[in-house]
Structure 1
Amino acid sequence: MPKNNKMAKNVIMFLGDGMGIATHSAARNLLGDEEQSLSFEKFPYTGLSRTYNVNKIVSDSASTATAYLCGVKTNGGTIGVDANIERTDCNTTLNTKNYVHSIAKWALDAGKSAGVVTTTRVTHASPAGVYAHVAERDWENDSEVAADCGNDNKIEDIAYQLIHGEVGSKLSVVMGGGKSYFVDKKFYKKGKRIDGRNLIDEYKAMSSKNAYVETLDELNRLNLNTTERLLGLFKDSHMNYHLETDAQTNQPTLEEMTRKALELLRRNDQGYFVFIEGGRIDQGHHKTYARIALDETVEFSKAIQAARELTSEDDTLIVVTADHSHAVSYSGYGTRGSDILGGAPFTPNDKTPYMILNYANGPSFKIFYDVEKHERHDPTKLIKGKPRDEYPATLPLASETHGGDDVAVFALGPWAHLFTGVYEQNTIPHMMAYASCLGNRLTTCTQ
């Protein structure tokens, strides 16, 4: 197809947290059969991103967020800072010379709008990469900072930076979970703050046009004509897995949040940058909940399809990728048309059935392996088709680990052809900035 060399007025970055190639390949089967495609798999340009960070072969969501949003690789567990800052270093984290800024700031500096949408806490590692600078990803509220650095520290926690920070305070749209991280315990019994602050009330007090919602019903009733900024915190912590929601949950889907975010952001004639994360793919994998992880991937695909319907590839660049993969394998010689979440058709040497999807490590080891007898239990008798079915793990760990393999990148729109080949993960925001003429570097507008 012809290359689109126009300037990208808008940039939408979709991040499937933990969505390695095995994950989205397996998730296709939930659409009907192996020949189906997720929405982003139909994009015309694809590439591979190398996900290692400065000090780890296999990275985490904090350092990768710094790479694909700020354009700099850094140490594991740190966000929005360069590698001069070590994880959980309470002193160097105050040195602003080591801060790096995300493409959201570059967009704001150019007069565009910016936003964050996620199914995790809005203070979690991936979304925090848009607006925060911390030496520890767990510093989501002030009590966590105090536990590491003492009560007299001068460190701004992630939730505080979202409400009052240089970038966070200018975001037009923020939606996800994490209400308890913004409120002191004395105001809200589930609150986690200890500084006597209610950051939600502080946000609302900034302007009468700052809207705050906690349910799908409130989101649907919102009058965008009288709204300049939107903060939606739909759960105290992460949002519910899609498979564990119903009409009573009153929680928006990622697709519904995406539609509302784009409806608000597109009012800026200068354009926008928005980061949209399917964050619970990762968390499903960590628990070896394969069914949940694949379903979250399908929901992620629906949100991308909605964005494609609401925008034009003539002026909007959509980039879809993952931060890292997981230690999940898609194997077992399953028969065409069989359930991807079911058992494999062959019997191994130990005469015990095995599954098509398995994990190299994780908490499910104890369920499927008898240590005293040195034998496996039949997984087909233990997996019942429930959302939280755990899938077999080969090694025992409290939480299944990430994988270090490259992840796919899919692109559509202006300069999407830049995203082909194999490249470092921290190249991604520079290519997005090139396409949309952001920052003080070479762009399509300055070449």
Structure 2
Amino acid sequence: VPEKEKDPKYWRDQAQQTLKYALRLQNLNTNVAKNVIMFLGDGMGVSTVTATRILKGQLHHNPGEETRLEMDKFPYVALSKTYNTNAQVPDSAGTATAYLCGVKANEGTVGVSAATQRTQCNTTQGNEVTSILRWAKDAGKSVGIVTTTRVNHATPSAAYAHSADRDWYSDNEMPPEALSQGCKDIAYQLMHNVKDIEVIMGGGRKYMFPKNRTDVEYEMDEKSRGTRLDGLNLIDIWKNFKPRHKHSHYVWNRTELLALDPYTVDYLLGLFEPGDMQYELNRNNVTDPSLSEMVEIAIKILSKNPRGFFLLVEGGRIDHGHHEGKAKQALHEAVEMDRAIGKAGVMTSLEDTLTVVTADHSHVFTFGGYTPRGNSIFGLAPM
């Protein structure tokens, strides 16, 4: 037990500080938020947050339990009740539609109401719902999407796409019936539905290029090659949509990204992997930026708009780590997202920026046993 914790005064002083802080919150900040940043920890349930808190402390050579995450420092906290219109346990697509569009939806669908049935293209038309990203654009704000998954994955896609199936990443993944009925894949919609998204960063390179196009980074890997059956090069289309007098940049590695002067960039597309980005623990420091690095550059670009901005940030591979039963990967992803939250906090002001941190669902993940204080969060319980 740390020596200071043996003194009752330590705990009472801490309680007094917490109470004083809570009382100050009675004076509500009634300013209209110019900027909104939404951090979404995919699959980041309460047990994941607790374990992440302990890991963060242990990474700094502390016992861990006493640590405060950046999100712990926020003045208000609440719990969310999550489900899809047709599912007791929700997925990341239906939930993304709920918190980005304000409309609950069926499992596996994005940017559409519950009238759209998964995989049924012909139930899409007329049931599209718009998102806060579109509303922000209509209000004259700049907008951005930053994710550690593919930029056309479930969470980010609900911001700009309307699809009966979250897995329609490119036309290669779509059934012939859906194509013949006129439905478009999610990567195509990213480039066409909201053409003036200022910042897009994450993975998903292969869905932007024609079938079998060799990847710039993994030249010998067949799984990294382009997937598009329509032969389109969506990167070129993205570039062509941008006004000639604006400065737009496409980058595919960390070196190119960090070489940019964000204050002179108007539009940025960064695709750093063929599919999802690498786990933080496996990240290549030359080719792959961290989530906090991407967030920093995104805020610098978006902050130039005097009308403000909306930024969606997803720590998407927290979820993947849990799905794969890799607690170490999941928790390190969550620690990195917390770093990104801290970075955003330093770069913005409470006076004009509303920052929200939340999750879309939890996982069957827990820890317990009679473990001593400071026990490794990845260790074993003695009994």
Shorter-chain TM range is 0.7 to 0.9
| Equivalent residue, structure 2, for 1:345 | 382
| Equivalent residue, structure 1, for 2:34 | 9
**Partner AA of 2:237 in structure 1:** E
Distance 2:162 2:180 in 1: 19
**Partner AA of 1:191 in structure 2:** G
Task: Provide the aligned C-alpha RMSD in A.
Answer: 1.2
| Equivalent residue, structure 2, for 1:206 | 241
Aligned length: 340
- Decide which of 223, 228, 232 is 1:197's aligned counterpart: 232
Q: Check whether the contact 2:369–2:382 (CA below 8 A) recurs between aligned residues.
A: yes
The offset of 1:66, in angstroms, is: 0.2
| Equivalent residue, structure 1, for 2:164 | 135
- Structure 2 unaligned spans of 5+: 1-24, 59-63, 216-224
The offset of 1:152, in angstroms, is: 2.7
- Structure 2 residue 299 is the aligned partner of structure 1 residue 299: no
| Equivalent residue, structure 1, for 2:118 | 87
Q: Check whether the contact 2:262–2:297 (CA below 8 A) recurs between aligned residues.
A: no
> SS at 2:77's partner residue?
strand
- Decide which of 211, 215, 220 is 2:253's aligned counterpart: 215
Distance 2:298 2:262 in 1: 10
The offset of 1:38, in angstroms, is: 1.1
| Equivalent residue, structure 1, for 2:190 | 162
Q: Check whether the contact 1:66–1:129 (CA below 8 A) recurs between aligned residues.
A: yes
| Equivalent residue, structure 2, for 1:183 | 209
**Partner AA of 2:232 in structure 1:** R
Greater helix fraction, Structure 1 or Structure 2: 2
Distance 2:110 2:68 in 1: 33
| Equivalent residue, structure 2, for 1:73 | 104
Question: What is the 5 A alignment of 1:7-86?
Answer: 7-30=32-55, 31-32=57-58, 33-86=64-117
Q: Per-residue CA shift, 1:14-61, capped at 9, x if unaligned?
A: 000000000010111112210101111110100111111101110000
Q: Check whether the contact 2:33–2:353 (CA below 8 A) recurs between aligned residues.
A: yes
- Structure 2 residue 261 is the aligned partner of structure 1 residue 236: no
The offset of 1:151, in angstroms, is: 4.8
Q: Check whether the contact 2:160–2:190 (CA below 8 A) recurs between aligned residues.
A: yes
Q: Per-residue CA shift, 1:173-198, capped at 9, x if unaligned?
A: 00000000111125436001110100
**Partner AA of 2:30 in structure 1:** N
User: TM (normalized to structure 2)?
Assistant: 0.87
| Equivalent residue, structure 2, for 1:319 | 356
Q: Does the C-alpha gap of structure 1 residues 267 and 260 become closer, same or farther in structure 2, counting only changes over 3 Å?
A: same
- Decide which of 247, 256, 266 is 2:285's aligned counterpart: 247
| Equivalent residue, structure 2, for 1:361 | none
| Equivalent residue, structure 2, for 1:395 | none
Q: Check whether the contact 1:14–1:319 (CA below 8 A) recurs between aligned residues.
A: yes
Q: Check whether the contact 1:334–1:340 (CA below 8 A) recurs between aligned residues.
A: no
Greater strand fraction, Structure 1 or Structure 2: 1
**Partner AA of 1:328 in structure 2:** F
Q: Per-residue CA shift, 1:371-414, capped at 9, x if unaligned?
A: xxxxxxxxxxxxxxxxxxxxxxxxxxxxxxxxxxxxxxxxxxxx
Q: Does the C-alpha gap of structure 1 residues 318 and 150 become closer, same or farther in structure 2, counting only changes over 3 Å?
A: closer
| Equivalent residue, structure 1, for 2:319 | 282
The offset of 1:148, in angstroms, is: 5.6
Distance 2:84 2:178 in 1: 29
- Structure 1 unaligned spans of 5+: 347-447
| Equivalent residue, structure 2, for 1:428 | none
Distance 1:109 1:143 in 2: 32
Distance 1:226 1:339 in 2: 45
Q: Per-residue CA shift, 1:67-122, capped at 9, x if unaligned?
A: 010000010000000001111102112x1x21111111111111111110000000
> SS at 2:152's partner residue?
coil
Q: Check whether the contact 1:124–1:140 (CA below 8 A) recurs between aligned residues.
A: yes
| Equivalent residue, structure 2, for 1:174 | 200
**Partner AA of 1:59 in structure 2:** P
Distance 1:149 1:18 in 2: 32
User: TM (normalized to structure 1)?
Assistant: 0.74
Q: Check whether the contact 1:186–1:196 (CA below 8 A) recurs between aligned residues.
A: no
Question: What is the 5 A alignment of 1:269-418?
Answer: 269-346=306-383
Q: Per-residue CA shift, 1:242-289, capped at 9, x if unaligned?
A: 1012434x2100000000000000000000111000000000000000
Q: Does the C-alpha gap of structure 1 residues 148 and 53 become closer, same or farther in structure 2, counting only changes over 3 Å?
A: farther
Distance 2:92 2:348 in 1: 28
**Partner AA of 2:357 in structure 1:** V
Q: Check whether the contact 2:143–2:310 (CA below 8 A) recurs between aligned residues.
A: yes
Distance 1:39 1:225 in 2: 26
The offset of 1:229, in angstroms, is: 0.8
| Equivalent residue, structure 2, for 1:126 | 155
Distance 1:223 1:295 in 2: 29
The offset of 1:225, in angstroms, is: 4.5
Q: Check whether the contact 1:203–1:210 (CA below 8 A) recurs between aligned residues.
A: no
Q: Check whether the contact 1:70–1:80 (CA below 8 A) recurs between aligned residues.
A: yes
> SS at 1:255's partner residue?
helix
